[in-house]
Amino acid sequence: MLARFIFAPTTIAVLALTAPIFAEEKPETVPLKKFIRPAAKTSKKAGDLPAVGQGPLVAQADGAGEKKSGDEPKPAEKPAPAPAATAPAKPGEGEPEVPRAIMVTKRELTAQLQIFLDQQLFSPGMIDGKPGKFVTNALKRWQHAHALPETGEVDANVPLDSVYPVYTFHTVAKSDYKFVGNLPGKTAEQSHQKSLPYPGYTDFLAERYHCSTEFLAKLNPKVSFGKLQPGDEVRVPNVAPFKVEDMPDTGNLPEREEFKSRRIVITRKDTILELFEGDNLIAAIPIAPGSPAHPTPAGKWRILGIASMPTFRWDAGVLNSGVRTNNFYNLPPGPRNPVGVAWMGLNKPGVGIHGTNNPHSIGTFASHGCMRTANWDISRICHMVTAGVTVEIK
């Protein structure tokens, strides 16, 4: 460590029933009754689902490593915000009430399912309107958390109609551009920056609303993102926005005793992280674990500490062979820092759970041993755990 907050991880890590959004694509439409399957048998009664993902979820943690005598960690300067993952916009704040259509597209239905799962803290990964393993895995785990058959299929037990409006609007603000700017491609040049921002406003907006830039373009076919001005409105998925400006300043997050009984289980094969409160599954997010050449280490570990907006020590020796060298660069904080907006260090040297500068890499076996996840997901999970939490890697 060359500075208090410099770490050395091993990675550069229902029903959408409004008018069709993607009319220009002329996608296949399906009747509602063909999409919704009969409810699977369950002992639960209607309206009797536990409120997984609800309630007090704010946690902060302390320490990015073992404490040394006389070396007390610097606290974060701003209090950590609540991860309002279950507080989407109300109908009056998004799209106006309109008659709900009978026919919907498969893409719209998939997008609505993704938004529903994201609101419930069972992240489907990047919202793009496309089915895939992230959506299936998230739905199965949501079903498990609610004591429902784990089919991975939508049926009448999945209250998709709770997602309304499906889309809301983001009003462009001058302050948004604080996080957009020059992002050099070379590591040496990045080390001279004061921060590592988004290279464009579309990237800022996509990450804020947990979606791909391509999906944003489809939602806004007449918008020229390069010409947006403060006051302009852009249609976005109705999820709790990831606000990078609300992340505590660079520093260690204080411990929360009430979260020490929680535990994380990471299944490398399924590329997923699960968070438990006792035996209850309360959240799940997709990850990118280590590659075959640099596998994520199996075993039981624990979180030593959590850092917000970390500085990254880029060391070729650590990345390639796990050996600390003098060939390194200190990369400043920012959403395009290689470890993203948060770093959860484990008691396995050089290994942690962290954000990423490339959300498209989630789900691949591309890291150097760490577990990376999207910034919008790590920003929520890091406030739901604390130092001392067990991390089991399978």
- Report helix, strand or coil for 176: helix
- Residue 88: predicted pLDDT: 58
Task: Report the predicted TM-score, pTM, of the whole model to 2 decimal places.
Answer: 0.76
Q: Rounded to whole angstroms, how far apart are CA atoms 339 and 350?
A: 12
Answer whether residue 41 is part of any domain: no
Confidence at 92, pLDDT banded by 50, 70, 90: very low
- How much of the chain, in percent, has pLDDT values that exceed 90? 60
Q: Is the pLDDT of residue 131 over 90?
A: yes
Confidence at 341, pLDDT banded by 50, 70, 90: very high
258 and 220 in a single domain? The answer is no
- Residue 77: predicted pLDDT: 43
Q: What is the pLDDT of residues 170-202, one digit of tens each?
A: 999 999 999 999 999 999 999 999 999 999 999
Q: What is the pLDDT of residues 374-388, one digit of tens each?
A: 999 999 999 999 999
Residue 262, token pair as written in the block: 């929680």
Residue whose structure tokens are 């204080």: 254
Last residue of a domain, one of 246, 277, 308: 246
- Report helix, strand or coil for 329: strand
pLDDT, average across residues 260-278: 96
Backbone angles phi, psi at 119, to 5 degrees: -60, -30
293 and 179 in a single domain? The answer is no
Q: Rounded to whole angstroms, how far apart are CA atoms 67 and 46?
A: 50
CB 29 within 8 A of CB 104: yes
- Residue 260: predicted pLDDT: 95
Answer whether residue 179 is part of any domain: yes
Residue whose structure tokens are 């604080």: 178
- Residue 294: predicted pLDDT: 76
Q: What is the pLDDT of residues 141-179, one digit of tens each?
A: 999 999 999 999 999 999 999 998 999 999 999 999 999
Domain that holds residue 188: 167-246
Backbone angles phi, psi at 151, to 5 degrees: -90, -25
307 and 237 in a single domain? The answer is no
Q: Return mean pLDDT, the chain.
A: 79
Confidence at 232, pLDDT banded by 50, 70, 90: very high
CA distances from 167 to 15, 99, 209, 290, 374 (A): 12, 15, 10, 35, 21
Q: Rounded to whole angstroms, how far apart are CA atoms 276 and 51?
A: 14
150: which residues sit within 8 A by CB, 6+ positions away?
A: 140, 141, 143, 144
CB 352 within 8 A of CB 386: no
349 and 315 in a single domain? The answer is yes
Answer whether residue 385 is part of any domain: yes
- Residue 321: predicted pLDDT: 61
Q: Rounded to whole angstroms, how far apart are CA atoms 287 and 283?
A: 13
Q: What is the pLDDT of residues 28-79, one digit of tens each?
A: 333 333 334 444 444 444 333 333 333 222 222 223 333 333 444 444 444 4
Answer whether residue 136 is part of any domain: no
Answer whether residue 138 is part of any domain: no
262 and 222 in a single domain? The answer is no
- Residue 6: predicted pLDDT: 38
197 and 259 in a single domain? The answer is no
Answer whether residue 317 is part of any domain: yes
Q: Rounded to whole angstroms, how far apart are CA atoms 108 and 237?
A: 11
Answer whether residue 379 is part of any domain: yes
CB 272 within 8 A of CB 359: no
Last residue of a domain, one of 205, 221, 246: 246
209 and 322 in a single domain? The answer is no
Q: Rounded to whole angstroms, how far apart are CA atoms 155 and 73?
A: 49
202 and 255 in a single domain? The answer is no
Beta pairing partners, 21? none
Half-sphere exposure of 89 (CA within 13 A, CB side): 19
Q: What is the pLDDT of residues 285-306, one digit of tens each?
A: 999 988 777 788 899 999 999 9
Answer whether residue 212 is part of any domain: yes
304 and 365 in a single domain? The answer is yes
CB 383 within 8 A of CB 38: no
CA distances from 60 to 76, 248, 281, 333, 387 (A): 10, 10, 19, 19, 9
CB 246 within 8 A of CB 380: no
> Per the structure, how many domains does the chain have?
2
Residue 264's CATH number: 2.40.440.10
- Residue 221: predicted pLDDT: 96
Backbone angles phi, psi at 383, to 5 degrees: -100, 10
229 and 253 in a single domain? The answer is no
- Residue 87: predicted pLDDT: 55
Could you count the other beta carbons within 10 Å of the beta carbon of residue 127?
27
294 and 179 in a single domain? The answer is no
Distance separating the N- and C-terminal Cα atoms of the chain: 29
Confidence at 313, pLDDT banded by 50, 70, 90: confident
Q: Quote the crossing angle between the two packed helices 106-119 and 133-145, to the nearest 10°.
A: 50
Least confident of 51-65, 84-98, 260-274: 51-65
Last residue of a domain, one of 222, 246, 270: 246
CB 350 within 8 A of CB 270: no
Nearest alpha carbon to residue 253 among 333, 311, 310, 308: 308
211 and 277 in a single domain? The answer is no
